[in-house]
Amino acid sequence: MQQITQTTTPTTIEQRIELYQLVETSLNQMFSELSFCKDRCIPRDRSYMGNSHKNGAIGCCHQNFYRLHIPLYKDIDQETATNIKHRFRKLQEENLITRLLEPNSEVKDYLNDNYRTLKKCSSHSKEGCMIAKFKSPTCVSYTCVPIERELLNVYNITYDRLIIIDFLDDIIKGKVTLEQANNFNQLTNQATKRIKSFKQDHRINIKEEIIISK
């Protein structure tokens, strides 16, 4: 495969996917270090998501958000968008966590406050997501308000999920260079190190704000 240069945008679908995985991995590492969902939402009877999400075991995974939503990519040709969607789905299937292949049967569908039935994601399990890599920008970037508050109030890290999802969408559209992706990853890596260090020693200096942005 032709190597991606620092300052040019990807010319092939595989290059876009390669760039996407770089950023996805960096974000996953940050959220894994924070461990908010696993430790403090999923074990709860009531999710942090708000009144409409009763069951903590489902959290925010109440739809199949892992799928790429092709209508969002109107500014690239539909053949390319469809090819990317199929490639992502194949990569998702190749990166299933095999020990979690059975969906979480213990987590039942439930009613929200408006008496609508909400279903858990088909890839959701008691131990987390069955898809290890190549989830959609929605899955990769999403944070509830309590997570964003914790990042800011505890770690002095500003995270705007709307900006991040746009950045991930732009990678899929082929609008992001390797240099831009690396700059973004530098910020998320700094955030990951800060979270880890602060958990080990609350006396570390976190006066300088880290703003995760594209």
Structural domain includes residue 2: no
Facing residues of 212 across strands? 159
Owner of token pair 């109107």: 74
Per the structure, the complete domain to which residue 42 belongs is given by: 13-212
pLDDT digits over 149-172, tens only? 999 999 999 999 999 999 999 999
Q: How far apart are CA 124 and CA 133, in angstroms?
A: 14
Structural domain includes residue 4: no
Q: What is the DSSP letter of 146?
A: H
Beta-sheet pairing, 210-212 with 157-159: parallel
Structural domain includes residue 176: yes
Owner of token pair 């559209």: 173
pTM metric for this prediction: 0.83
Structural domains of the chain, count: 1
Q: What share of the chain is helix, strand, coil (3-state, %, to 5)?
A: 50, 5, 45
Residue 72 has pLDDT above 80, yes or no: no
Residue 90 has pLDDT above 60, yes or no: yes
36 or 42: which carries more pLDDT confidence? Answer: 36
Residues near 90 by Cβ (< 8 Å), separated by ≥ 6? none
pLDDT digits over 92-107, tens only? 888 887 666 555 444 4
Q: How far apart are CA 93 and CA 162, in angstroms?
A: 27
Which residue from 48, 172, 66 is spatially nearest to 129, judged by alpha carbons?
A: 66
